[in-house]
Homo-oligomer: A and B are copies of this chain.
Amino acid sequence: MYVIEQTRPEPTPIPGVSHATWAGSAQGLEQLSLWRQSLAPGAATPAHSHDCDEVVICESGQGTVRIGDQNHAFGARSTLILRRDQLHQIINTGAEPLEILGVFGATPVNVFLADKQKLELPWCS
């Protein structure tokens, strides 16, 4: 299977966060996962980190990425660079959905909360 369809993000147990896994170990990959997510206005991820590199492509909307005590605003045509183990939180600060593509240098993807506890994900990563 070389060509697959991009599925629409579906609601998750995380309030305001919809998710679709576009590529990962289920497609036979060993080094990459791609997550397409939509955050409703006001929605936020928990503060978290990964033990792999992450790049986020913003497709539309307005958001901020909170790193330490700093907020970094971003929007359409922005790319976020989140190196391995960088604690970060993504927040939709706009009035429209925040549409993002998260790219990870591992599959499956491990997610750790601020206290280093591993988060069990409600989706196949």
B5 and A78 contacting across the interface, CB-CB below 8 Å: yes
Specify how many copies of this chain sit in the oligomer. Answer: 2
Residues of A within 8 A of B (CB): 1-6, 22-23, 27-32, 34, 52-55, 57, 65, 67, 72-74, 77-84, 88, 101, 103-106
Main secondary structure of the interface of A (DSSP, over half): strand
Is B103 touching A6 in the complex (CB atoms < 8 A)? no
- Asked if A29 contacts B78 (CB within 8 A), the reply is no
- Give A38 Cβ to nearest chain B Cβ, in Å: 15
Known: A32-B103, A32-B105, A105-B105. A81 touches B6 (CB 8 A): no
Nearest-CB distance from A100 to chain B (Å)? 12
The answer to whether A2 touches B84, judged by C-beta atoms less than 8 angstroms apart, is no
Q: Report B-chain residues with C-beta under 8 Å of the C-beta of A32.
A: 32, 53-55, 103-105
